[in-house]
Amino acid sequence: MTHTIKSWRLSVTWSDGRTEGLAAHLPEYLAEELQAYFLELEQCRAECDEIEEGYNWGEDKEVAA
């Protein structure tokens, strides 16, 4: 079974605590780069599944600006 990315989120949290979703407002070039990256992730997971190595799930971490 091939697994595909079903959804993703991109947001920022402002210093006043408000959160803003950015995915709907991405520049076209950045959206294209993300789609290419997601394809690479899907291919990596498929390869790991084939050799029964197990996919290395990355932890979601907050990155300070």
Q: Do 37 and 28 form a contact (C-beta atoms < 8 A)?
A: no
Query: What does the pLDDT profile of the chain (65 residues) look like in tens digits?
Result: 788 999 989 999 999 999 999 998 999 999 999 999 999 989 888 887 777 666 666 666 665 66
Model's pTM, two decimal places? 0.70
Q: Hey, what are 50's tokens? A: 């084939």
> What is the per-residue pLDDT for 6?
93
Closest CA to 24 of 6, 36, 8, 44: 8
Alpha-carbon dihedral of residues 40, 37, 4, 57, nearest 10 degrees? Answer: 80
